[in-house]
Chains A and B, each alone.
Chain A
């Protein structure tokens, strides 16, 4: 192992390096940064396509860590604002977004404004843009297609007066301008935003577009992302004495080529009804005064019990809303056009659903295949949809596991047919092969273990926060290769190297943050590099 040590910027943390640090600034005024403490609780890290990132918010910088071919780090320090609020990477790993609230309260025009900083996540990180915001907000949501970010008030925001329904929508594909970001002030009926869903592009009356679905604690708002300056459409779910709180959303674009059959389904907390919004053309009677070309028409469908998950599925009988009702051990299929419901008896309670048709292939009649799993019973099930005589499905294939499933991780291509299932204890995993319908168990000796599939889909990393042990799981052979590092591991990031290879960056929450860099394809202590005091460098 090769060890590289960086200087410490806080004398109390590394008294032995104090003299070195002072020497570095002996010729002039010492930078303010050296008076800043290092806050690593929590330690904010993100994995990007070509680098790992550590948000060193006390030093108002994001430290990007690209890796050379020889596993040496080439840290890049990118300034961010004061009062760090949140950081998230886009799903593709190409961008890091850092939200800072600036100087709060802002007393003079020289005080820093709140802003969203966008940083490139490649092997050559750089600042891509900065979007100045009018208000210091702390909530950050990112579009899974990386085109938008939404900034919203969170419970941490404590401005003198605050409107919890004021959002800021940032178009990440466009530079900052007078029209970007876009302030969106939701009309409120007493609720405040609780969750955001960016839809895929939907063929809607008036043209294809994407929507932002905002769930509050009592209604749902639809923001047209092609024209966010238009007033949003609000569907009030609470009209009577019973408050209906939306708890989940499913979206369907309907049949290809049709522009009047897109739908949004809304699951409601502890309620046996699902509300389906048919996105229809605005009626002629309202066409002149409505700012929109589509209008959500709600329909209530009864699924027999409170559903824990919903999804739109294709069957040979047409589109259906599938709702998992674990209290009855069934999956209820509802025709959204007629409200007709039929049950698929699952024989066990299942709470979560994932459509895996793209992976396993559709059934002979073009129907979907759904993967179901449970947090309460040790089962997974494959449901092949489509009508056979006397039942609304072709088959239900159940696999019994040793433990219930707490989480399911997708594996990128070329192993998209694999899912990694984690038990609630973190002591065991199952690699589920969707094609062969096999479930290979993996056991961890340390509780609280977790799996991190690599972006290139050929391996997964297993780690536990309280442990310094690490394992590379070859997803082709399911052979685990164990490595023990010097320090406990908080996170690992499998990133692209500058030479085109892959590196694994293990983050150690020790002192001023330590890192171990290994060859991701051939992890070995023989050619790893260990860095300590990483937050002390690159000012």
Chain B
């Protein structure tokens, strides 16, 4: 499938690149609502997959990651030079700061007053915390004995955990468990580093919203890290399976924002398991057929399990489902096939679709009502991924045109009005999309397209609610798109040996490309002489 290739390219680029090594700034670094998901590799049998039925649903949204941006800055690490470039997205001024040895993986740190980022220096086994305020920047170093290739950051910016995602390690030896993590307390004036050990091969790390516990989802279960004692410590490990040889790679794990529960979906099993992260208690919720996707609402009040085989959606109330696992709304979606869901960050609306079979119908469900009525939106090409705006007033839908379509476009996108019942607008793309970013205000969406197989490098900017789509050529292969909300600009980082990023001003539409971040730092104008 076209998007499978795009996914692999995007994953490998995001994983290996020096520029946006940590990928999606929301899901990967620690989501705003504390929710995160990790799905299997897709290798396990899906609902009906072994019997020649449709293949498993693909979680493509996480592939379209955004580069590292804070309120007004874009941060880009250069492992070769040992420096981090930070670009003021308002003025496009580029500055460079020395980090450690091979700064590679960078993540934004939430902070109310400053622009803060943290970069993992993989060869010097430390991390540099960079704090920018106005024209001033400070850098602080903390040891990271575990090294790693990913970050998880708590919502309040107090904690950061460096860990290793084995999926980003090429040809990882099975003996390599990547079980070492480093917990960094970023509290100003009292920062410290703590090395800990978690289960075999973590696939995700997250925090509860209170910042008192962290959770590492591993193949041994969920390792719980206590953060409210003098020093961070591993407090327990909660096994997610009764079977000693359970295939952990086919699990889909969701943790509620308050850290109270973990919900587990296993490929091919008609059940959702709910684990208490306090006492490890398990509750199994039986479903009419194996669910093909599982997500949590932004507030963690509802888990949405999609059952493609019966075209039903189970809305599991949290925590009531633990008390009575047989009581939950099961919504039947007629006239449309649903197998996947995408949820808006600040809305109870769930977007349902399938990308396992060609399907042009998008279903919208309000998960906040007891008996929601599905609203079906007709689109004009098979859906491959859905990206709702934070308020769910609109959604950007990516289409796969490769399935026998007569279209000459290798891909397409639709801008879909949701809050108002208006027709969606479909636009052909010149190449497969590799990254999507939605402005937090919901007024713009960026779609970057083009890869090594389809070198039509483009940036599409969707204006919402007008549904106008502007197309800009890019000078080189896009890596990831992102939004700098404080500057009202979007950007696309691109492959270039000297670093390249294209900014688009949302107010004026002006596009400007900066190439050569290191060179920009080598202008000496006599300041201070």
Residues of A at the B interface (CB closer than 8 Å) are 187, 230-237, 239-240, 275, 282-286, 289-292, 295-302, 337-341
Chain B residues with CB under 8 Å of A338's CB are 472-475, 502, 511-513
| 3 pairs of A and B residues whose beta carbons are closest in the complex | A231-B526, A285-B135, A339-B475
A289→B525 CA distance, assembly (Å): 10
Which residues of B465-518 have CB atoms within 8 Å of chain A's CB atoms?
A: 472-476, 496, 498, 500, 502, 511-516, 518
Q: Which residue from B81, B512, B523, B527 sits with its C-beta under 8 Å from A337?
A: B512
B-side contacts of A298, CB under 8 Å: 516, 519-520, 522-523
- Which of B93, B518, B526 makes the CB contact (< 8 A) with A283? B93
Residues of B within 8 A of A337 (CB): 511-513
Q: Which residues of B contact A (CB under 8 A)?
A: 80-81, 88, 91-94, 134-135, 472-476, 496, 498, 500, 502, 511-516, 518-520, 522-529
A301: nearest residue on chain B (CB-CB)? Answer: B515
A487 CB to closest chain B CB, in angstroms?
A: 55
Q: Residue of A at shortest CB range from B134? A: A285
Tell me if A291 and B515 are in contact (CB < 8 A): no
Interface residue from A231, A233, A284, A289 paired with B523 (Cβ < 8 Å): A233
Closest chain B CB from A499 CB (angstroms): 54
B residues near A289, Cβ cutoff 8 Å: 527-528
Whether A339 contacts B500 by the Cβ 8 Å rule is: yes
Q: Could you give 17 example pairs across A and B, Cβ below 8 Å? A: A233-B526, A239-B81, A285-B91, A291-B525, A291-B526, A292-B525, A295-B525, A297-B92, A297-B94, A299-B513, A299-B516, A338-B472, A338-B473, A338-B474, A339-B475, A340-B475, A341-B475
A290's partner among B80, B512, B519, B526 (CB-CB below 8 A) is B526
Q: Contacts A285-B134, A339-B500, A341-B475 given: A299-B514 contact, CB under 8 Å?
A: yes
Contact residues in A for B527 (Cβ distance below 8 Å): 286, 289-291
Q: Shortest beta-carbon distance, A272 to chain B, in Å?
A: 11
The reply to whether B473 and A283 form a contact with Cβ atoms under 8 Å apart is no
B523:A237 contact, CB within 8 angstroms: no
CB distance from B58 to the nearest CB of A (A): 33
Chain A residues lying within 8 Å of B502, measured Cβ to Cβ, are 338-339
Interface contact B522-A239, CB-CB below 8 Å: yes
Given contacts A292-B525, A337-B513, contact A285 B519 (CB under 8 A): no
Indicate if the CB atoms of B525 and A233 lie closer than 8 Å. yes
A341 to chain B: which residues have CB within 8 Å? Answer: 475
Nearest-neighbor residue (CB-CB) of B83 within chain A: A239
* In the complex with contacts A239-B518, A297-B523, A338-B502, A231-B529 CB distance below 8 A: yes
A236-B522, A240-B81, A240-B518 known; 4 new pairs, CB 8 Å cut-off, are A231-B526, A233-B523, A233-B526, A275-B516
> Do residues A234 and B513 form an inter-chain contact, with CB atoms below 8 A?
no
Contact A283 B513 (CB under 8 A): no
A112 to chain B, nearest CB (A): 35
Residue pair B474, A340 in contact (C-beta under 8 Å): yes
State the Cβ distance, B83 to closest chain A Cβ, in Å: 10
Closest chain A residue to B500 by CB distance?
A339
Question: Considering residues B88, B514, B516, which has the most beta carbons from chain A within 10 angstroms of its beta carbon?
Answer: B516
Which chain B residues border A240 with CB–CB below 8 Å?
Answer: 80-81, 518
CA distance A339 to B81 in the complex (A): 23
Closest Cβ of chain B to A50, distance in Å, is: 43
Query: Most chain-A CB neighbours within 10 Å: which of B93, B94, B529?
Result: B93
Quick one: which of A231, A234, A237, A300 has the most chain B CB within 10 A? A300
Bound form: Cα–Cα A284–B93 in Å: 10
> Contact between A300 and B515 (Cβ–Cβ < 8 Å)?
yes
The answer to whether A297 touches B520 (Cβ under 8 A) is: yes
Closest B-chain residue to A299, C-beta based? B515
Q: Which listed residue (A286, A292, A300, A340) contacts B135, Cβ 8 A?
A: A286
How many Å lie between the Cα of A363 and that of B514 in the bound state?
A: 31
Contact of B524 among A230, A234, A302, A340 (CB under 8 A): A234
Residues of A within 8 A of B522 (CB): 235-237, 239, 298
| Interchain CA distance A282-B91 in the complex, whole Å | 10
The CA-CA distance from A254 to B522 in the complex, in Å, is 24
The complex places the Cα of A339 from the Cα of B475 at a distance, in Å, of 5
| B475:A292 contact, CB within 8 angstroms | no
| Bound form: Cα–Cα A11–B152 in Å | 94
Q: Give the docked Cα–Cα distance between A285 and B514 (Å).
A: 19
Most A-side CB within 10 Å, residue of B94, B472, B474, B514: B514
